[in-house]
Amino acid sequence: IFAKTDISLYTNSNLRNDEYICPSSGKPCSCKESKVHKCDRPVGATIGEHKTFSFSEIDGSLYNEKELIFPPELVLRNDLPLKLNGFGGIRWYRPLKLRSLLDLKSFYPDAKLVVGNTEVGIELNFKNAHYPTLISVTHVHELNALSIKENGLEIGSSVRLSKLQQVLIKVIAERDVHETSSCRAISEQLKWFAGKQVKNVASVGGNICTASPISDLNPLWMAARAEFRIVDL
């Protein structure tokens, strides 16, 4: 936003209709040239074409029309499998199909699977871990499935925690109380996790594999008698 400063606010020539503009506050006042300025005009008074604002009024709501939107071209863009080579010989893959993911994992058995990178990033930056091959599973359709079945939920390992929480709230509201005790427990636990930005990228499978003692869902999965589908390569 460009500044719109009226230099007359800071000069003695700013006398309009016998109003004096205080050089200390820039507001109309009756203090004239006295050394102590006591403005008696309320905040928001109009000075010609200028209007003063209090801090509470300047909250950004006046600029809603200038909010940036996510580029539609990127929304419509088709997802493509990716292979990137990084510094130090690091390889980064992004498959789109489960079969491709399994082939990559078979070829690189020590590869690290990542979704939100919330834990791997900590291991790399603070624990000096080194993973020459990283495989992002964010775009594998089968791992992002989240469906409501007659006897429970089917949750893909790449489902984000924020999306899981939204579905749990929906299920709790629509089904009988005695059916949703596990859903309510998991939803309540998710409230104590990290901020929304982290939950928007952190995944269910990543949480299970990390088993962090400060944000662990594994005891709840065990108590709910959840069934896990594991692929053995």
- In DSSP terms, 123 is beta-bridged to none
> What is the rounded CA–CA span in Å between residue 159 and residue 92?
20
Domains of the chain, earliest start first: 7-66 (no CATH), 75-136 (3.30.43.10), 145-223 (3.30.465.10)
> What is the rounded CA–CA span in Å between residue 205 and residue 113?
10
* Interior angle at CA 131, CA 130 and CA 134, nearest 5: 155
What are the tens digits of pLDDT across the range 15-46?
Answer: 555 566 555 555 666 655 544 444 444 444 44
What are the tens digits of pLDDT across the range 155-201?
Answer: 999 999 999 999 999 999 999 998 999 999 999 999 888 888 889 99
pLDDT for res 29: 64
Helix (H, G, I), strand (E, B) or coil at 213: coil
- Which positions ≥6 away from 211 have C-beta within 8 Å? 218
Q: Mean pLDDT across the stretch 69-91?
A: 85
Higher pLDDT among residues 93 and 87, named by residue: 93
* Residues composing the chain: 233
What are the tens digits of pLDDT across the range 106-123?
Answer: 999 999 999 998 888 888
Helices (H) and strands (E) in the chain, counts: 8, 11
Which residue's structure tokens are 């009988």? Answer: 176
> What is the rounded CA–CA span in Å between residue 186 and residue 41?
55
